[in-house]
Each structure stands twice: as C-alpha cells, then as structure tokens.
Amino acid sequence: MECVFGLVGNGFAIVVADTSAVHSILVHKSNEDKIMFLDSHKLIAASGEPGDRVQFTEYIQKNVALYQFRNGIPLTTAAAANFTRGELATALRKNPYSVNILLAGYDKETGPSLYYIDYIATLHKLEKGAFGYGSYFSLSMMDRHFHSGMSVEEAIDLVDKCILEIRSRLVVAPPNFVIKIVDKDGAREYAWRESVKDTPASA
C-alpha cells in the first residue's frame, strides 16, 4: 500500500514517501527510505516492486553521476527526467520495470520542478502529483488546498494533512513517512512523520 506524493512551492519542491517494506501480508520494516538523492539538487521518489525500485533508481543515480563525471556539468532536472523516461521506455520493450517515479529538482535558470514518470514511460511536468493507494486521498487534499507559490510552512502543513488523511482513511495505511525538500541550497531530508518505530530485537 505504497504512498508517494510531491508538490512544487515558491522556490522549492517537496517529495514525500511512506517507509514501509511490505510483501504480501508481511511488513518487513518500517524505515525503508524510498527517496534517493540523484545529485546535489535532485530527488527521485519511487514506488513499485521493491527489487525493480531499488535496481532502477540506483541505475539512474549512477548514470546521472557518470554524465557529470564525463562532461563536467550536471544534467538539468528536465534532462534527468527525459533520460529516466527513455530508459523506462527501452526496458518496456525488453524486460519492463514495475516502478513509478516522482523526480524533483532545482535548476538555477528554471527554479524548482516536479516530473511524473509512470511504469509505461509516461512523462509529465506537474505542480503536484502522487502514486500508490495513498494518491486517492493525497490528490484530493492537494486539489482542495494546493495553490501556486506556497511557502515551505504552507507546503508542510498540506503534507501533514495528506498524511493524516491517508492514515485515517486507508484501510492498511503505512505508519511512517519521510519528507525531503530541494531548493537553491540543495536536496536534503526535511523530516520524518513516525507513528511506529523499528526496534532492534533483543538478544
């Protein structure tokens, strides 16, 4: 029951993901970070089959780093999104990945941006987007409360409303979420919203 959503505000983009690693009826862990740093100013949040999600996002991360190493300049967010879409489209005809992606970034020239890329290689630039069962509730909340040019405080308040709605309405809602933000100062972890903590087993 994965939940990944994000939005663009005034000079920043925020991405949120649940942190549950689930298989069938079992929860393996509740602190799995599904938002990866592509580079200093890009985030990639993914949902889907765990193996595909980890393998594909790491593949994109290493190729973005390789491009910067070879050429001396980083990819723009739009270029990274189009590269990601191209790799998904190529795989779709061979060995498709079951992975959906929200890619957020900040560029000096264009500011913050958010791209929606699904498992059949559809690419859209959005101001707000979501994947997973949680999208039924988070998209509704964002339709009601989102507006262009939101401040960080307004955006975090909306994120908390979305998380509360998912927890209260989704029958098997994930307990924990991680929030990450990207702006002119770079990509970084902003906060966790935890209702369950993983505790190590006693010896």
* pLDDT single digits (tens) 103-127: 999 999 999 999 999 999 999 999 9
Is 81 part of a structural domain of the chain? yes
Cα–Cα distance, 117 to 102 (Å, whole number): 6
| pTM confidence score | 0.91
- 183 sits in which H/E element: strand 177-183
Per-residue pLDDT for 15 more than 90? Answer: yes
**What does the block give as tokens for 57?**
């996002």
Residue 19 lies in a domain: yes
> Mean pLDDT over residues 95-101, rounded?
94
Q: Summarize pLDDT for 33-44 with one digit per residue, the tens.
A: 999 999 999 999
* Domain membership flag for residue 139: yes
Give the mean pLDDT of 35-58. Answer: 93
Q: Grade residue 99 by pLDDT with cuts at 50, 70 and 90.
A: very high
Give the model's confidence band at 192: pLDDT under 50 very low, under 70 low, under 90 confident, else very high.
confident
Domain assignment present for 199? no
Residue 140 maps to a domain = yes
Question: Would you place residue 55 in the very low, low, confident or very high pLDDT band (cuts 50, 70, 90)?
Answer: very high
203, part of any domain: no
Residue 200 is predicted with a pLDDT of: 57
Domain count, the chain: 1
Would you say residue 202 lies in a domain? no
* Number of alpha carbons in the 13 Å side-chain half-sphere of residue 95: 3
The pLDDT score that the predictor gives to residue 198 is 66
CATH code of the domain covering residue 47: 3.60.20.10
* Between residues 144 and 22, the one the model is more confident about: 144
Contact 6, 18 (CB under 8 A): no
Range of the domain at 164: 2-192
What is the sign, positive or negative, of the torsion defined by CA atoms of 91, 92, 97, 102?
A: positive
- The answer to whether residue 200 sits within a structural domain is no
